[in-house]
Amino acid sequence: MPEAIRVAVFWAAMVLIAAHLGLALAAAAIPCITSLVGLRQAKRLKIFIDKFGQQASTFALLGGLWVFVVLCAALVALHFLLPATAPSFLGLPLPLAAWAGPLLAGGAAFLAYRGLWQRLKAKKARHAVVGLSASLLLWLAFYAALAAARPLQVGLPPDTGPAFLLPPADSLFWRLLAEGLLLSLGLAGVFTGAWLVWRRDKDDFGRDYYNFTMRLAARIGFAALLASVAAMAWLGLGLLPVVGELSSRLTVAVGLYGTGMLLALVCLGVVMPKENALRHKVLLAAAFLATLVALTGLCAGLAAIFAPGFLPPPLA
């Protein structure tokens, strides 16, 4: 296969992985965000907050269902195409039960959270407990899946005992986990902002509603993404002894992450203080695209470091 095609296939795969990873992380954090926002007591914002929660959770429901279907297809492909790697995630009872159990429980909790919206509308604290439980369970599934992948990252055989759930204290796992959780919160804000832009003409709740909710989504996205940049710096320091000399592919990946994250923060930073945020909706769409660029760089960088066999041959 010509090198140009191999390179194109690699980057196409990174874009697809980044898009679905971003959607999964965003969907996991949205119940947490809408639950906490829903606890606000300001009466004049009560209607806006309720509609925001319903819109955001509907997006999380649709996105989560799509990611679940794609995940099932990927696991089937893993079982048949990479039988040597499959036990790292599909071993019975572990590690499969460690990540699939919380994933299914979190999905069920989220369905209850969304389905009981009207019934628990006046019982905010009880409803928030359900939403927070959904996010915590989904983050627990992320934790277990990341822990299950750790032996692959360090070149060890699959670990099918319970010990894999508690990596060493000095492991890069904890830095990756911190980055993933903060990205989850940041992407929830960014993706929800883009969803609000997409639904503006279909769900016409008025300019005041969209001015408020677009500012809210921008503020959540900006704060969490800024924190994730700090976590990435912490992760980068830990990766320095592993990386050694930068390859051309890794250099491109770092450039994509840095450029995308900077653009996303600038776009969100412009929108979040604006009283007329609706006029700047194009910046929320731009922030969404910028985070996809950053995620593509992040996925490509991690692939270059931990799965070099997945990369095409170096450019001449």
Mean model confidence pLDDT for the chain: 92
Of residues 4 and 231, more confidence is placed in: 231
The mean pLDDT value for 236-253 works out to 86
Q: With 80 as the cut, is the pLDDT of residue 10 above it?
A: yes
Let me know if residue 296 belongs to a domain: yes
Q: How many residues does the chain have?
A: 316
Let me know if residue 18 belongs to a domain: yes
Cα 262 to the chain's mean position, in Å?
A: 18
pLDDT of residue 315: 45
pLDDT tens-place string over residues 99-123: 999 999 999 999 999 999 989 888 8
- N-term to C-term CA, the chain: 15
The mean pLDDT value for 139-150 works out to 96
Q: With 90 as the cut, is the pLDDT of residue 84 above it?
A: no
CATH of the domain at 273: 1.20.1630
Structure tokens at 41: 């007591």
Q: With 60 as the cut, is the pLDDT of residue 311 above it?
A: no
What's the CA gap between 263 and 124, in Å, rounded?
36
Of residues 42 and 88, more confidence is placed in: 88
Phi, psi of 231 (to 5 degrees): -65, -35
Let me know if residue 315 belongs to a domain: no
Q: With 80 as the cut, is the pLDDT of residue 246 above it?
A: no
pLDDT confidence tier of residue 57, bands split at 50, 70 and 90: very high
Between 195-209, 256-270, 284-298, the lowest mean confidence (pLDDT) is in: 195-209
pTM, whole model, 2 decimals?
Answer: 0.95
Let me know if residue 270 belongs to a domain: yes
- Going by C-beta distance under 8 Å and a sequence separation of 6 or more, which residues neighbour residue 20? 67, 70
Let me know if residue 249 belongs to a domain: yes
Q: Which domain holds residue 167?
A: 3-310
Let me know if residue 258 belongs to a domain: yes
Count of CA atoms in the C-beta half-sphere (13 A) of 3 = 4
pLDDT of residue 156: 77
Q: With 80 as the cut, is the pLDDT of residue 191 above it?
A: yes
Let me know if residue 316 belongs to a domain: no
Q: With 60 as the cut, is the pLDDT of residue 189 above it?
A: yes
Number of domains comprising the chain:
1
pLDDT of residue 1: 60
Tell me the angle at which helices 46-81 and 173-199 cross, rounded to the nearest 10 degrees: 120
Let me know if residue 85 belongs to a domain: yes
pLDDT of residue 149: 92
pLDDT of residue 316: 43
